[in-house]
Amino acid sequence: MDSRRRVGAFATAVLPVVWLAACSIEVDEDKHTGAADVDIHTPLADLAVRANSDGVDTGLAVHQGARPTRHRGRGPSNAKVSIDGPLFGLRVATAEYEDDASPDEILDFYKKEMAAYGDVMECRGNLDFKGRLGRPVCRERWRSREVSLVVGTEREHRIMAVEPRGSGSKFAVVHVRTDH
């Protein structure tokens, strides 16, 4: 084996170990719900996850009468995720709710709430941000029971999606912000 291949093989074997040694992981688990807060620190970026947390800030008020969705005895289905690095950043806040109000009532409420952030687009289907200036585009699916509202651009946007559940509604609110 020539020296370049040996150096390459050595670097391939040793560099991941050195990189992992520079990492730290902290986990704080709630014994009652099983939810865990996780912090990961690496030389490239830091990651923080706060799962099932109350008070997730999406920048939008919560519809009066909404209750955080809970799954199988765990805490609320809410989360905050942030990635902070020298070249990029990402923040995601998401919360899921149940409500006795109809989907139309929920939509009317959030259209008004989201209007503070710009023009609100309604969509039945998939959303992507391939539009002009990073604006959202709707790929309609006519049979979709879920209706989404979106405001903002690819770099920072809020999405609300609602669908019928029994005689009421199930809905989620998401705020995404990226920093470059």
Whether residue 48 lies inside any domain: the answer is: yes
176 three-class SS:
strand
Domain coverage including residue 64? 23-179
The answer to whether residue 109 is domain-embedded is yes
Count: domains in the chain:
1
Whether residue 121 lies inside any domain: the answer is yes
In a domain, 91, yes or no: yes
Q: What is the pLDDT of residue 110?
A: 98
Q: Which of 119, 123, 103, 104 is nearest to 171 (CA)?
A: 103
Does 4 map to a domain?
no
Is residue 142 included in any domain, yes or no?
yes
Residue 14, in any domain of the structure: no
In this predicted model, what pLDDT tens digit does every residue of 105-159 receive, in sequence order?
A: 999 999 999 999 999 999 998 888 777 777 888 887 767 789 999 999 889 999 9
In a domain, 7, yes or no: no
Rounded to an integer, what distance in angstroms lies between the CA atom of residue 76 and that of residue 56?
A: 10
Element at 125 (helix H, strand E): strand 125-128
